[in-house]
Chain A
Amino acid sequence: MIKHNVYISPDKVLVDGKALTHNEKGSALLTELYRNNVSDYPKFFKMDTLSKLGFVASELLLNAEGNRDFEPREDRAVIFFNKHASLQADTHYQSTIQDPEHFFPSPAAFVYTLPNIVTGEIAIRNKYFGETSFIVVEDYDEKIIERNLKNSFQDPMTKSIIGGWLDCLDEEHFEAKIFLLYKD
Protein backbone atom coordinates (compact mmCIF):
# COMPACT_ATOMS: atom_id res chain seq x y z
CA MET A 1 0.00 0.00 0.00
CA ILE A 2 1.38 3.41 -1.01
CA LYS A 3 1.14 5.87 1.90
CA HIS A 4 2.78 8.97 0.46
CA ASN A 5 4.25 10.06 -2.85
CA VAL A 6 6.44 12.82 -4.20
CA TYR A 7 6.92 14.06 -7.74
CA ILE A 8 9.71 16.45 -8.73
CA SER A 9 10.56 17.67 -12.23
CA PRO A 10 12.65 20.76 -13.11
CA ASP A 11 9.57 22.98 -12.80
CA LYS A 12 7.03 21.05 -10.73
CA VAL A 13 6.83 19.66 -7.20
CA LEU A 14 3.94 17.58 -5.89
CA VAL A 15 3.63 16.05 -2.44
CA ASP A 16 0.74 13.60 -2.20
CA GLY A 17 -0.66 15.20 -5.32
CA LYS A 18 -0.60 18.75 -3.93
CA ALA A 19 1.61 21.30 -5.70
CA LEU A 20 4.33 22.99 -3.68
CA THR A 21 4.96 26.63 -4.54
CA HIS A 22 8.49 27.51 -5.59
CA ASN A 23 10.43 30.21 -7.44
CA GLU A 24 13.34 28.31 -8.96
CA LYS A 25 13.69 25.79 -11.78
CA GLY A 26 16.17 23.05 -12.60
CA SER A 27 18.89 22.23 -10.08
CA ALA A 28 18.29 25.61 -8.35
CA LEU A 29 14.83 24.25 -7.51
CA LEU A 30 16.44 21.36 -5.62
CA THR A 31 18.52 23.83 -3.59
CA GLU A 32 15.38 25.89 -2.89
CA LEU A 33 13.57 22.75 -1.69
CA TYR A 34 16.56 21.90 0.52
CA ARG A 35 16.65 25.38 2.08
CA ASN A 36 12.89 25.49 2.66
CA ASN A 37 12.37 21.93 3.88
CA VAL A 38 15.64 20.54 5.23
CA SER A 39 18.48 23.05 5.86
CA ASP A 40 20.37 21.00 8.50
CA TYR A 41 22.41 18.70 6.24
CA PRO A 42 25.21 20.71 4.55
CA LYS A 43 26.50 17.56 2.85
CA PHE A 44 23.66 18.22 0.40
CA PHE A 45 25.82 20.84 -1.35
CA LYS A 46 28.53 18.27 -2.10
CA MET A 47 26.14 15.86 -3.81
CA ASP A 48 25.69 15.35 -7.54
CA THR A 49 22.30 16.29 -9.03
CA LEU A 50 20.92 12.72 -8.89
CA SER A 51 21.70 12.50 -5.17
CA LYS A 52 20.31 16.01 -4.52
CA LEU A 53 17.12 14.99 -6.32
CA GLY A 54 16.76 11.74 -4.35
CA PHE A 55 17.71 13.42 -1.10
CA VAL A 56 15.17 16.28 -1.25
CA ALA A 57 12.47 13.98 -2.67
CA SER A 58 12.98 11.54 0.23
CA GLU A 59 12.96 14.41 2.73
CA LEU A 60 9.62 15.68 1.41
CA LEU A 61 8.27 12.12 1.50
CA LEU A 62 9.44 11.50 5.07
CA ASN A 63 8.23 14.91 6.25
CA ALA A 64 4.81 13.94 4.84
CA GLU A 65 4.99 10.72 6.85
CA GLY A 66 5.90 12.67 10.00
CA ASN A 67 7.26 11.37 13.32
CA ARG A 68 10.88 11.47 12.17
CA ASP A 69 13.05 10.21 14.99
CA PHE A 70 16.22 9.20 13.10
CA GLU A 71 16.48 6.04 15.20
CA PRO A 72 18.34 3.14 13.56
CA ARG A 73 15.97 0.68 11.84
CA GLU A 74 16.31 -2.37 9.62
CA ASP A 75 12.73 -2.69 8.39
CA ARG A 76 12.86 0.00 5.69
CA ALA A 77 14.47 -0.42 2.27
CA VAL A 78 15.47 2.20 -0.30
CA ILE A 79 15.04 0.95 -3.90
CA PHE A 80 15.16 3.19 -6.94
CA PHE A 81 15.04 2.75 -10.71
CA ASN A 82 16.20 4.90 -13.59
CA LYS A 83 17.41 5.05 -17.18
CA HIS A 84 20.52 7.25 -17.07
CA ALA A 85 22.34 5.68 -14.07
CA SER A 86 24.89 8.29 -12.84
CA LEU A 87 25.65 9.67 -16.30
CA GLN A 88 25.90 13.32 -15.23
CA ALA A 89 28.40 12.51 -12.44
CA ASP A 90 30.33 10.23 -14.83
CA THR A 91 30.58 13.03 -17.42
CA HIS A 92 31.63 15.55 -14.77
CA TYR A 93 34.33 13.22 -13.46
CA GLN A 94 35.51 12.50 -17.00
CA SER A 95 36.00 16.25 -17.51
CA THR A 96 38.54 16.26 -14.65
CA ILE A 97 40.68 13.61 -16.39
CA GLN A 98 40.09 14.53 -20.04
CA ASP A 99 43.17 16.67 -20.63
CA PRO A 100 46.53 14.92 -20.08
CA GLU A 101 48.09 18.37 -19.47
CA HIS A 102 45.56 19.17 -16.74
CA PHE A 103 44.93 15.75 -15.28
CA PHE A 104 43.39 16.35 -11.84
CA PRO A 105 40.95 13.54 -10.95
CA SER A 106 38.46 14.95 -8.48
CA PRO A 107 37.78 12.54 -5.58
CA ALA A 108 34.61 14.45 -4.68
CA ALA A 109 33.32 14.00 -8.23
CA PHE A 110 34.43 10.36 -8.40
CA VAL A 111 32.47 9.26 -5.31
CA TYR A 112 29.20 9.96 -7.13
CA THR A 113 29.98 7.89 -10.21
CA LEU A 114 27.52 5.16 -9.25
CA PRO A 115 23.73 5.64 -9.12
CA ASN A 116 23.32 3.68 -5.89
CA ILE A 117 25.26 6.35 -3.96
CA VAL A 118 21.95 8.21 -3.53
CA THR A 119 20.37 5.21 -1.80
CA GLY A 120 23.31 5.24 0.63
CA GLU A 121 22.96 8.99 1.22
CA ILE A 122 19.29 8.48 2.20
CA ALA A 123 20.09 5.43 4.35
CA ILE A 124 22.88 7.29 6.18
CA ARG A 125 20.73 10.38 6.79
CA ASN A 126 17.87 8.30 8.22
CA LYS A 127 19.89 5.47 9.82
CA TYR A 128 18.27 2.81 7.66
CA PHE A 129 20.03 -0.55 7.72
CA GLY A 130 17.67 -2.40 5.37
CA GLU A 131 18.12 -3.17 1.67
CA THR A 132 19.42 -0.41 -0.61
CA SER A 133 19.32 -1.02 -4.36
CA PHE A 134 19.41 0.99 -7.55
CA ILE A 135 18.22 -0.76 -10.68
CA VAL A 136 19.00 0.68 -14.12
CA VAL A 137 16.36 -0.13 -16.76
CA GLU A 138 15.82 0.77 -20.40
CA ASP A 139 12.77 2.96 -19.79
CA TYR A 140 10.22 3.78 -17.13
CA ASP A 141 8.12 0.67 -16.65
CA GLU A 142 5.68 0.38 -13.76
CA LYS A 143 5.50 -3.39 -14.11
CA ILE A 144 9.26 -3.80 -13.64
CA ILE A 145 9.21 -1.48 -10.64
CA GLU A 146 6.24 -3.25 -9.07
CA ARG A 147 7.72 -6.70 -9.62
CA ASN A 148 11.06 -5.78 -8.09
CA LEU A 149 9.54 -4.08 -5.06
CA LYS A 150 7.24 -7.04 -4.50
CA ASN A 151 10.27 -9.32 -4.55
CA SER A 152 12.01 -7.15 -1.96
CA PHE A 153 9.14 -7.72 0.46
CA GLN A 154 10.05 -11.43 0.43
CA ASP A 155 12.75 -10.45 2.90
CA PRO A 156 10.84 -10.84 6.18
CA MET A 157 12.82 -7.94 7.66
CA THR A 158 11.45 -5.41 5.14
CA LYS A 159 8.17 -3.78 6.17
CA SER A 160 8.32 -0.60 4.07
CA ILE A 161 10.19 0.75 1.04
CA ILE A 162 11.11 4.20 -0.19
CA GLY A 163 10.99 3.38 -3.87
CA GLY A 164 10.25 4.52 -7.38
CA TRP A 165 11.75 6.33 -10.33
CA LEU A 166 14.71 8.66 -9.90
CA ASP A 167 16.31 9.78 -13.13
CA CYS A 168 18.72 12.59 -13.94
CA LEU A 169 20.28 13.44 -17.28
CA ASP A 170 21.64 16.84 -16.26
CA GLU A 171 20.81 19.89 -14.14
CA GLU A 172 17.85 20.78 -16.36
CA HIS A 173 16.46 17.30 -17.03
CA PHE A 174 15.45 15.11 -14.13
CA GLU A 175 12.44 13.39 -12.65
CA ALA A 176 11.60 11.87 -9.30
CA LYS A 177 8.44 9.80 -8.89
CA ILE A 178 8.93 8.20 -5.53
CA PHE A 179 6.66 6.80 -2.89
CA LEU A 180 6.54 5.21 0.53
CA LEU A 181 5.26 1.69 0.15
CA TYR A 182 4.13 -0.50 3.03
CA LYS A 183 3.84 -4.29 2.99
CA ASP A 184 0.18 -5.29 2.53
Chain B
Amino acid sequence: MDELIYKLKQEIIEALNLEDMKPEDIDENASLFGEGLGLDSIDALELIVLMEKNYGIKLKDPAQGKEIFKSVTVMADFIQKNRTK
Protein backbone atom coordinates (compact mmCIF):
# COMPACT_ATOMS: atom_id res chain seq x y z
CA MET B 1 0.00 0.00 0.00
CA ASP B 2 2.85 2.42 0.84
CA GLU B 3 4.32 1.81 -2.58
CA LEU B 4 0.99 2.58 -4.26
CA ILE B 5 0.56 5.75 -2.18
CA TYR B 6 4.01 6.97 -3.24
CA LYS B 7 3.38 6.13 -6.90
CA LEU B 8 0.00 7.83 -6.76
CA LYS B 9 1.57 10.99 -5.34
CA GLN B 10 4.04 11.03 -8.24
CA GLU B 11 1.22 10.56 -10.75
CA ILE B 12 -0.87 13.33 -9.17
CA ILE B 13 2.09 15.74 -9.29
CA GLU B 14 2.66 14.95 -12.96
CA ALA B 15 -0.99 14.96 -14.04
CA LEU B 16 -1.86 18.19 -12.23
CA ASN B 17 1.41 20.04 -12.96
CA LEU B 18 2.10 20.62 -9.27
CA GLU B 19 5.47 22.17 -10.07
CA ASP B 20 8.07 22.34 -7.28
CA MET B 21 6.22 19.67 -5.32
CA LYS B 22 7.70 16.32 -4.31
CA PRO B 23 5.77 13.23 -3.15
CA GLU B 24 7.11 13.90 0.36
CA ASP B 25 5.38 17.30 0.36
CA ILE B 26 1.94 15.71 0.06
CA ASP B 27 0.35 14.54 3.31
CA GLU B 28 -1.43 11.35 2.27
CA ASN B 29 -4.13 11.94 4.89
CA ALA B 30 -4.76 15.59 4.10
CA SER B 31 -7.75 16.70 2.02
CA LEU B 32 -6.98 16.96 -1.70
CA PHE B 33 -9.50 19.75 -2.21
CA GLY B 34 -10.13 22.94 -0.26
CA GLU B 35 -7.69 23.36 2.59
CA GLY B 36 -5.26 20.58 1.63
CA LEU B 37 -3.67 20.68 -1.81
CA GLY B 38 -6.23 23.26 -2.92
CA LEU B 39 -7.20 21.48 -6.12
CA ASP B 40 -10.08 22.70 -8.28
CA SER B 41 -12.89 21.08 -10.30
CA ILE B 42 -10.73 20.68 -13.43
CA ASP B 43 -8.17 18.83 -11.28
CA ALA B 44 -10.97 16.51 -10.10
CA LEU B 45 -11.77 15.66 -13.73
CA GLU B 46 -8.08 15.09 -14.40
CA LEU B 47 -7.92 12.66 -11.45
CA ILE B 48 -10.87 10.74 -12.91
CA VAL B 49 -8.93 10.47 -16.20
CA LEU B 50 -5.79 9.39 -14.27
CA MET B 51 -7.66 6.54 -12.58
CA GLU B 52 -9.04 5.28 -15.88
CA LYS B 53 -5.77 5.66 -17.79
CA ASN B 54 -3.40 4.19 -15.21
CA TYR B 55 -5.59 1.75 -13.29
CA GLY B 56 -8.48 0.94 -15.64
CA ILE B 57 -11.06 2.28 -13.21
CA LYS B 58 -14.06 3.96 -14.80
CA LEU B 59 -16.18 5.92 -12.34
CA LYS B 60 -19.85 5.32 -13.15
CA ASP B 61 -20.94 8.36 -11.22
CA PRO B 62 -18.59 11.42 -11.13
CA ALA B 63 -20.16 12.30 -7.77
CA GLN B 64 -18.29 9.28 -6.38
CA GLY B 65 -15.16 11.40 -6.70
CA LYS B 66 -16.23 13.40 -3.66
CA GLU B 67 -15.65 10.35 -1.46
CA ILE B 68 -12.72 8.82 -3.36
CA PHE B 69 -10.67 12.02 -3.57
CA LYS B 70 -10.87 12.77 0.15
CA SER B 71 -7.16 12.06 0.50
CA VAL B 72 -4.36 10.14 -1.23
CA THR B 73 -4.82 7.29 1.26
CA VAL B 74 -8.56 6.98 0.51
CA MET B 75 -7.82 7.18 -3.22
CA ALA B 76 -5.10 4.50 -3.01
CA ASP B 77 -7.42 2.23 -1.02
CA PHE B 78 -10.14 2.60 -3.67
CA ILE B 79 -7.64 1.89 -6.46
CA GLN B 80 -6.31 -1.22 -4.72
CA LYS B 81 -9.82 -2.64 -4.41
CA ASN B 82 -11.05 -1.73 -7.91
CA ARG B 83 -8.08 -1.66 -10.28
CA THR B 84 -8.23 -3.69 -13.49
CA LYS B 85 -4.63 -2.99 -14.53
* A contact residues vs B (CB 8 Å cutoff): 42, 45-46, 102, 104-108, 111
Q: Which residues of B contact A111 (CB under 8 A)?
A: 42
Q: Are A106 and B19 in contact (CB under 8 A)?
A: no
Q: Which residues of B contact A102 (CB under 8 A)?
A: 53
A46-B49 contact given A107-B42, A108-B42, A108-B43, CB 8 Å threshold: no
Give which listed residue, A42, A45, A106, contacts B49 with CB less than 8 A.
A106
Q: What residue of chain B has the Cβ atom nearest to residue A105's Cβ?
A: B49
Q: Are A45 and B18 in contact (CB under 8 A)?
A: yes
Q: Are B17 and A46 in contact (CB under 8 A)?
A: yes
* B contact residues vs A (CB 8 Å cutoff): 15-20, 42-43, 45-46, 49, 52-53
Give which listed residue, A42, A45, A107, contacts B46 with CB less than 8 A.
A107
Q: Which residues of B contact A45 (CB under 8 A)?
A: 17-19
Q: Which residues of B contact A104 (CB under 8 A)?
A: 49, 52-53
Q: Which residues of A contact B53 (CB under 8 A)?
A: 102, 104
Q: Which residues of A contact B43 (CB under 8 A)?
A: 108
14 residue pairs of the A-B complex, CB under 8 angstroms, read A42-B20, A45-B17, A45-B18, A45-B19, A105-B49, A106-B46, A106-B49, A107-B42, A107-B45, A107-B46, A108-B16, A108-B17, A108-B42, A108-B46
Bound Cα distance A46, B42 (Å): 11
Bound Cα distance A111, B43 (Å): 11
